[in-house]
């Protein structure tokens, strides 16, 4: 079934459900563990290896860009820029989405071009604007040249020919499935602690539903309903273009999923992003064009719902969005395997 038809059916169903239930039944706390595919169960050894690879810049063409460069785990899982800087100072056209809670997306990237975290992990390595390697095997040869990585691969995948592109991607994906931020004020509130959120946050939660934000930003991660991996929950952005925001923030310059499928119906369709930790991931939208959360709420109301919000409503909704900031697991920079006596980059 076509992407747009699926989207319209789901949206209509969500709106009807919220109207019938008064919204309360739909609030979900964030799970404390992410699902893993049958061919890549999460293990401590994979997570340990994946953490090393995530922080290692040496398999970028210049040796300067790692996964963490654009998805900074010491903060919001992004890089606080409108668009990221890759090798040789190159920049793309899209904002780096947070990697925190990315395990709960059914597709990856703004345009959904990767079905799984494993697929996503391979993309930036060979993107000429990001890590800039000419091929995945070339990047893997960099890893193979670091002898200290071999024991980590063997522990994670068994002795033998363990140092493969697929295994490296599986390890990074396994690590990313541990990047979950539960126990936000919102989570505690919906679990029964009615003191966990402030009065403005509670008001904002109700307005978030009443105004219609929840028709797209539903579910435990506020990125739409739970869907099969690879399906993707997409929405048109902007839905309403006859406003000052569309031109001011260049919202229609990027055609979204259409750039992958080349189908006319996919123009300006984007994967619905999570709102978890949204207060920490400015600037906002696919092009990072809005640097203020209050403004982002106003833009969304006008471009998606064709509504203009009162200042008080915006303040309450922003208060609620701040309640979605969860608890981050302890994170430290790993000691990467070295190459005593030589540089693999100089060669």
Task: List the catalytic residues.
Answer: 130
Which H or E run contains 234?
A: strand 234-236
C-alpha dihedral sign at 111, 286, 132, 335: negative
Q: CB of 214 within 8 A of CB of 14?
A: yes
Describe the crossing of helices 150-157 and 165-176 by its angle, rounded to 10 degrees.
80
DSSP assignment of 288-303, as one string?
T-B--HHHHHHHHHHH
Burial 17-27 (b: 16+ CB within 10 A, else e): bbeeeebeebb
Residue recorded with tokens 């929950």: 233
Q: Strand 234-236 relative to strand 269-271: parallel, antiparallel, unpaired?
A: antiparallel
Q: CB of 237 within 8 A of CB of 270?
A: yes
Burial 71-86 (b: 16+ CB within 10 A, else e): bbbeebbbbeebbbbb
Q: Report the alpha-carbon distance of residue 323 to residue 198 in Å, rounded.
A: 9
Nearest Cα to Cα of residue 74 among 102, 92, 53, 54: 54
Alpha helices in the chain (DSSP H): 3-21, 44-55, 67-70, 117-126, 136-144, 150-157, 165-176, 185-190, 199-211, 244-248, 258-261, 293-305, 311-322
DSSP assignment of 70-118, as one string?
HS-TTTTSS-SSSS-B-GGG-B-SSPPPP-TTGGG-SSBSTT--BSSHH
* Number of residues that this document lists for the chain: 347
């Amino acid at each position: 079934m076509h992407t747009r038809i699926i989207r319209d059916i789901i949206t209509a169903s969500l709106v009807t459900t919220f109207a019938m239930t008064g919204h309360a039944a739909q609030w979900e706390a964030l799970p404390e563990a992410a699902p893993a595919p049958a061919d890549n169960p999460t293990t401590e050894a994979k997570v340990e290896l994946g953490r090393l690879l995530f922080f290692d810049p040496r398999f970028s063409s210049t040796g300067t860009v790692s996964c963490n460069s654009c998805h900074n785990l010491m903060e919001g899982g992004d890089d606080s820029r409108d668009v990221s800087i890759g090798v040789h100072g190159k920049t793309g056209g899209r904002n780096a989405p947070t990697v925190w809670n990315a395990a709960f997306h059914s597709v990856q990237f703004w345009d959904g071009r990767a079905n799984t975290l494993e697929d996503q992990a391979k993309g930036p390595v060979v993107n000429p604007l990001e890590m800039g390697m000419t091929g995945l095997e070339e990047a893997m040869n960099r890893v193979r040249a670091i002898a200290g990585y071999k024991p980590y691969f063997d522990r994670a995948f068994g002795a033998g020919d363990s140092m493969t592109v697929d295994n490296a991607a599986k390890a990074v994906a396994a690590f990313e499935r541990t990047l979950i931020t539960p126990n936000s004020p919102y989570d505690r509130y919906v679990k029964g602690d009615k003191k966990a959120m402030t009065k403005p946050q509670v008001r904002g939660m109700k307005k978030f539903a009443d105004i219609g934000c929840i028709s797209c930003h539903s579910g435990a991660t506020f990125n739409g309903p739970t869907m099969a991996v690879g399906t993707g929950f997409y929405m048109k952005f902007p839905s309403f273009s006859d406003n000052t925001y569309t031109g001011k923030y260049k919202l229609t310059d990027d055609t979204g999923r259409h750039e992958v499928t080349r189908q006319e119906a996919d123009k300006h369709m984007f994967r619905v992003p999570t709102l978890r930790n949204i207060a920490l991931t400015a600037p906002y939208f696919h092009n990072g064009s809005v640097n203020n959360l209050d403004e982002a709420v106003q833009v969304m109301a006008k471009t998606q719902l064709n509504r203009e919000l009162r200042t008080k409503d915006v303040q309450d909704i922003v208060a609620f969005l701040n309640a979605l900031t969860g608890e981050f697991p302890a994170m430290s920079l790993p000691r990467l395997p070295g190459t005593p006596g030589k540089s693999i980059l100089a060669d």
